[in-house]
Amino acid sequence: MKTDEIDSASRLSTDKSPNYSNEKQSHELAEYEDIDGLHRRLSNRQIQWIAIGGSIGTALFVSIGWGLVEGGPGSLFLGFLIYCSFLALANSCMAEMSVFMPVVGGWVRMGSKWVDEAYGFTAGWNFFLYEAVLIPFEISALNLVLTYWRDDIPVAAVVAACIVLYGIINLFAVRAYGESEFWLASGKILLIFMLFAFTFVTMVGGNPQKDAYGFRYWSHPGSFAEYLHKGTLGRFEGFLGAFFQASFTCVGPEYVAMVAGEAIYPRKTIKTAFKTMYYRFGLFFIMGSLCVGIILPYDDKTLVNVLNNEGTGTGASSPYVIAMKNMGISVLPDLTNALMVTSIFSAGNSYVYCATRTLYSLSIDGHAPRFLQKTTKAGVPIYCFCVTMIFPFLSFLSAGRAASEGVKWLANITQAAQLLDYIFMCTIYIFFYRALKAQGYNRDDLPYKGWGQPYVAYVGVVFFSVVLGIYGYTSLVTFDVGTFMTYYAMCFICVVLWVGFKVIKRSKFIKASEADLVWERPKIDAYEASIDPPLGLWTDIWQTVTMQKKKQHVV
């Protein structure tokens, strides 16, 4: 069958006769665009902007305040710098595998093909639960941010509106999702650069008080805050608090990998997205942490009261908005908060998409009920979508408690799952690397070669495992079962999933010489041979902005 696919691709690329009908061309193109029931319709600009939109959410604008309060500006900056440096290791692993095999489900399915079926089963359900729980997290955060304008906005009404809008966007073809995320992510980019400009202009004196405060808050009250204990131990624990906030805030590789199965010309568009991920780490996350530590002291009363829910609970919960109000700046806080609302909504939209596709990939591999493989004509996994949309209803829990409490609780329960994702990625790469070596592949011939391998993958496994083991240590200081479980529940769930699958299915680890490195490559090669290469990023954006008509041609 794979030989037939390759021959078909060859015919598509060589047959130039005038008798070759347009109808047959369209049929062949549709055949190769349809990968496992989904459609490759996400354009270059949509892929790059989804990579930005999926990685920037509530945490960078709101929850980051916890890191400032617990660790101070110095610890916050160092925590983000160090964590992003190690997150780049996971990106290197994921980039090489995804560009080589841009399949639906990304590393979730690679775990089943290259490591052990139980491993893929566990990785898939962990990622699905992680993404699904993040949906109500974002909706809860949206409610928190809306209280900036007024604190009597009905929480239930906001939740219901989000559910309806997520449903409308994700029920259309993937191209509609990509287009919505392109414009929503554009709002995020605008917001980030606006906040960077605000930080620079005000710190050099461009504020109503004409106060060139510079790095004042780094010396008073100080760069490193004490947390839980006093002295050196307290400052170290403050650093850990800021570092753990970074581990929740900084993401990226998983979202690029997840859209690989629906990207046009994936070996080019996905490779670009992964290569630029390193710049995003530095620009958005590291610079963002630096700015937060400049504009606000870690002991700011408003920030502390809002985060601890001891004050009015009204909602200037973002450090940026609080700083603007402290300086007596008008209008800009409202604009910032409005853009923040669209940014948080966009993040939730991305989680709906990723959770739906993850559940679909689990069904393809037989790790979820097969009825979930049902797709619409537009390529939307309809039943997977329906299951995913159950989770947003958890947001109604916010109606009975402070929104800030709900946000913190959901952040804790998902953080372990996020760290587990990177452990899975790096581990799968180690098996992938061994399979390449055992089967005689030359990595120099791969469409993308990750740097520093396989040592980067080994370091990544150790680093993320250590962070996972210690990030909930505060729950042990004054031990509480409920708090402990919110930190480590996903670890126990993953152990149960893996052991249960092993016992029931009796799966075995795959030998390096037997790992399937062919898999869907012939079909992907045939698809890429059937179309023109994609437009360049800025050309694609320009044609979109100027409303020029773009066509996809069969070669």
User: pLDDT by residue (tens digit) across 442-480?
Assistant: 999 999 999 899 999 999 999 999 999 998 888 877 777
In a domain, 549, yes or no: no
Residue 452 domain-assigned?
no
What's the pLDDT at 280?
84
> How many folded domains does the chain comprise?
1
Retrieve residue 471's tokens.
Answer: 């990030």
Is 23 part of any domain? no
Q: Residues 87-114: what's their mean pLDDT?
A: 93
Q: Is residue 554 part of a domain?
A: no
Number of Cβ within a 10 Å radius of residue 37: 17
How many beta carbons lie within 10 A of that of residue 455, not counting itself? Answer: 10
Assess whether pLDDT exceeds 80 at residue 76: yes
> Which CATH number does the domain housing residue 498 bear?
1.20.1740.10
pTM of the model: 0.87
Is residue 16 one of the residues assigned to a domain? no
3-state class (DSSP) for residue 42: strand
pLDDT of 294 reads: 95
Residue 309: pLDDT above 60? yes
Give the pLDDT of residue 409. Answer: 67
Domain that holds residue 87: 36-444+463-532
Q: Is 321 within a domain?
A: yes
Per-residue confidence (pLDDT) for residue 8, from 0 to 100: 39
pLDDT at 260: 87
Instruction: Write the CB contacts of 199 (distance below 8 Å, at least 6 apart in sequence).
Output: 291, 294, 295
* Residue 140 resides in a domain: yes
What distance lies between CA 111 and its chain's CA centroid? 19
Confidence of residue 82 (pLDDT cuts 50, 70, 90): very high
Between CA 247 and CA 467 the distance in angstroms is 9
Pick from 54-68, 104-118, 131-145, 253-267 the range whose average pLDDT is largest.
104-118
Q: CB under 8 Å to 296, separation ≥6 — which residues?
A: 68, 217, 303, 319, 322, 323, 326
Asked, for residue 48, whether it belongs to a domain, the answer is: yes
